[in-house]
Structure 1
Amino acid sequence: MSELEDKYADIRPYNDDEVTASLSRLINDNAFIDVIAKYNLPRFLSAVPFITRPLVRSQLRKKWGSVSTVEDVQNEVAQYLNKLVKRTTSKVTFSGLDKLDPNQAYLFISNHRDIVLDPALVNWGLFQYKMKTVRIAIGDNLLQRPYITELMRLNKSFIVKRSTKAPKEMLRALTQLSSYIYDSLISGNSIWIAQKEGRAKDGFDQTDPALLKMLQLNGRKQKKQFGDYIKELKIVPVSISYQYEPCAIAKAKELYHKQHHGEYTKSAGEDIASIVEGFSAAKGHVHLAFGEPIESHCDSAEELAKTIDKQIVDSFYLHPGNYIAGGCKKEVINSPDTITFEQRMASVPDELKPLVLAMYAKPFHRKTEINTNNCEH
């Protein structure tokens, strides 16, 4: 398909006929090869590129030799995720997936705690339930290196142009994005998108109405009312809950800096470091609660945001740390979990402790607003 025929060429994931060329570009990208070496080979060896690069390239050619379609890529990712889940979690559990129609495409809108793991674990759940994996919305701010763009587009990610600032260009980009999401859904491809731009660094999960207004841009073009159009999208809220908050100290540092110095500017490579930490750090028990498709008539973005938030907050799985940080009586927590959480908190720098505790406490307090009996969990 030529670029003229493909109106989403600059944002969509790769198709089957583009996989082989993309893998070839990755194998020939020194920056990518050096990253693989850094995280997979002994330090003394990875520091000598003229030795490691041919070695890594040879291994990747063998490993990827039979990979030629998007489904092949998804199967490779599933194998990697399986290892990651075994290595870094005590367990990953799901609720609500059994109530969804495996033949229906959904727009999954979830809270956002980890850059890559959130959609990866949504896919992991769908994969377990023999459902098609999602197309993933990813901000262009993360695509700092060509190899990241390749990896993301190979893994069914589409690009959200956040860096566009001029009003006309921004409207054009958002309209294209809205149209792409709709066309994906009607062609049977589910979508994952975070409920707001960026991760919830303070533990406060809240849907941004601006996101929902973006979704409606295509509905407006079709001359459809907000409520009618939204029903067509089959929105399913997803609540992701980590026993141990991903990148908690890094998030707290950013919040602390903002509190004391105003703006916070990320250093080069900071998002990549967060992705790596999210993959490698212990996460304990992770639970993903898939909600019910929103059928109620929401006539505005603000009303729909509240409906999504209620499902996400209500179905958020509270772990021991959430109860402890929330000030719930410790009798409801078994002692090993209490000790483990307190040991983790002991390693947090003193000035960041209140911020990290607040991350864990926020979901507990928000649920308490809905259900006053949380302490009897």
Structure 2
Amino acid sequence: MAPLLPLRERATATDNALSSAPVEEFEKIRPYRDDEVAEVLRRVVADPAAAQGVARFLAPGCFRHAPRITCWALARALAWRTRNLRSVDDLHGEIGHWFGRLIRRTTTGLTWSGIETLETGEPHLFVSNHRDIALDSAYMNYALWSSGYRTSQIAVGENLFTHAFATDLMRLNRGFMVPRTGGSPRTQYAGMRTTSRYIRAVLDAGESVWIAQRDGRAKDGIDRTEPALLKMFLLAWRGECDAIGDWLRRVRLVPVSISYELDPCAGAKARELYLTARDGGYEKPDGEDHACMVQGILGFKGAVHVAFGTRVEGDFESAEELAAHLDRVIVGNLRMYSTHVFALEGRANLGPRVGEAFHGTLDDCPPEHRDYVLLQYANQLRNQRELVDGVVT
């Protein structure tokens, strides 16, 4: 999901590019246009979930002791602050500083590297590991914006479009819907083809796109690119690009690695991993994704780093070969912290605040879940050593 932050400029050619396609093809999945912002904002502000979310962030103490009056006051404040917003840029400009405040409150610092290798003014197709539902793309876009680059549109799984309020927020923040795999083969293919055509339309219009390397977060800490994702990309270029190398010469494919010292959702992920191992599967309860989204946004994450890799070029023989290359780059560029070392080797200097949060997660978990908390962190370091260095641990 795109972060709530100001954009220095926003491509207007996208609407023109999308208008050349059949209206019904992209209408249900595209982000909101500028002419829709005012009406959608009125709807969002009127939703009780908006005031509750702002209250938890801006006035958590007041919200705990007097939730109704706190939400009432903040709802009125939101309505006043958004009354003159008429475009996506207006929205991002109004509340962008809150994202910086969120970073300062919930991390010990956000850093990035490799951004200077991007081609200024050109669209990129960013493919990254997926650790957090909302913040992976948000941190990347914040790094882009802070460095003077245009931010990207964000691919969001349709499982997050189940509630009207969340749907409005994501589409306001340049998120477009990606159908989850399921249904008949014909339905799956139609969904992949539409997504591929939409991504191409956005890139052709001069805007960048971010998408995760796999369907769903890597809850076990092992990051792998799904070859099916790469095959999906190629659908919109079928008949024009005879080989993967031809496609790469037309698309600026950039791997991105997003590293977290702490994962606020580690306990929830551990529960899912444990139940999956015990029962052979896991049925996600309604609302779990949205609860994890809020927990990830508001929880303490320690240090966070975004690493931009260099543009991928070369004549790869297959999607599997390209996926393996992306894995080596993405995993190789991950930044390992003391939490990963501690989880794998049993000792490391975590520091007071990080150590308190890390051990607090372990203490709050049922005993049978704790190994799965450690597994998430340990696997990131183990995976890097094995995949990049060839060291089995």
**Alpha-carbon deviation of 1:161?**
1.4
Q: What is the aligned partner in structure 1 of residue 276 from structure 2? A: 258
When residues 165 and 279 of structure 1 are mapped into structure 2, their CA distance, relative to the original with a 3 A threshold, is same
Between the aligned partners of 2:65 and 2:355, the Cα distance in structure 1 is 37
Given that 1:78 and 1:124 are in contact with CA atoms closer than 8 Å, whether structure 2 keeps it comes out as: no
Q: Cα deviations across residues 202-244 of structure 1 (Å, max 9, x unaligned)?
A: 0001101111111111121535323211332211111111001
Map of 2:375 onto structure 1: 358
The CA distance in 1 between the partners of 2:251 and 2:324, in whole Å, is 17
The match for 1:93 among 88, 91, 111 is 111
* CA 350–278 in structure 1, closer or farther in 2 if over 3 Å, else same: same
Question: How far apart, CA to CA, are the structure 1 residues paired with 2:361 and 2:290?
Answer: 25
Corresponding position: 1:279 with 2:300: no
- Give percent identity, aligned residues only: 37
Q: Which runs of 4+ in 1 moved over 6 A?
A: 372-375
Q: Give SS of 1:119's match.
A: helix
Q: Letter of the 1:252 partner, please give it.
A: A
Could you tell me which residue of structure 1 aligns to residue 209 of structure 2? 191
Say whether 1:303 aligns with 2:321.
yes
- Alignment partners' CA distance in 2, 1:275 and 1:334: 25
CA RMSD of aligned residues (A): 2.7
Amino acid at match of 2:301: K
Given that 1:219 and 1:225 are in contact with CA atoms closer than 8 Å, whether structure 2 keeps it comes out as no
Going from structure 1 to structure 2, the CA distance change for 1:42 and 1:220 (only over 3 Å counts) comes to same
Q: CA-to-partner distance for each residue in 1:315-365, whole Å, 9 max, x for gaps?
A: 1101011122222875xx577689557634652432122111111111212
Asked whether the equivalents of residues 109 and 195 of structure 1 are also in contact (C-alpha less than 8 Å), the reply is yes
Alignment of 1:306-345 (within 5 A): 306-327=324-345, 330=348, 333=349, 340=356, 343-344=359-360
User: Which structure 2 residue ranges, 5 or more long, are not aligned?
Assistant: 1-14
TM-score by length of 1: 0.90
- Give, in angstroms, the shift of residue 169 of structure 1: 2.5
CA contact (8 A) 1:94 1:287 kept: yes
**Maintained 8 Å contact 1:219/1:226:** no
Q: Which residue of 225, 234, 238 maps to 1:216?
A: 234
Equivalent residues of 2:343, 2:378 under 8 A apart: yes
Query: Alpha-carbon deviation of 1:55?
Result: 3.6
* Counterpart code for 2:32: Y
Alpha-carbon separation, structure 1, partners of 2:279 and 2:330 = 32
TM-score between both structures, scaled by the size of structure 2: 0.86
Cα distance in 2 for residues equivalent to 1:205 and 1:329: 24
Counterpart pick for 2:159 among 138, 141, 149: 141
Question: Match of 2:286?
Answer: 268
Distance in 1 (CA, whole Å) between partners of 2:278 and 2:306 is 35
Partner of 2:384: 367
Paired residues, what number? 370
- Residue in structure 1 matching 2:125, options 75, 93, 107: 107
Worse overlay, 148-157 or 29-38:
29-38
Deviation at 1:75, TM superposition (A): 2.6
SS in 2 for 1:66: coil
Q: What amino acid sits opposite 2:189 in the alignment?
A: L
Tell me if the contact between 1:227 and 1:300 (Cα under 8 Å) persists in the aligned partners. no
Q: CA deviation at 1:73?
A: 2.4
Q: Deviations over 1:99-119 (max 9, x none)?
A: 212211111100001000111
Equivalent in the alignment of 1:128: 146
Change (3 A) 1:53 1:362: closer
SS at match of 2:257: strand
Q: 1:42 aligns with which of 46, 63, 70?
A: 63
Residue ranges of structure 1 left out of the alignment (5+ in a row) = none
- Distance in 2 (CA, whole Å) between partners of 1:350 and 1:253 is 11
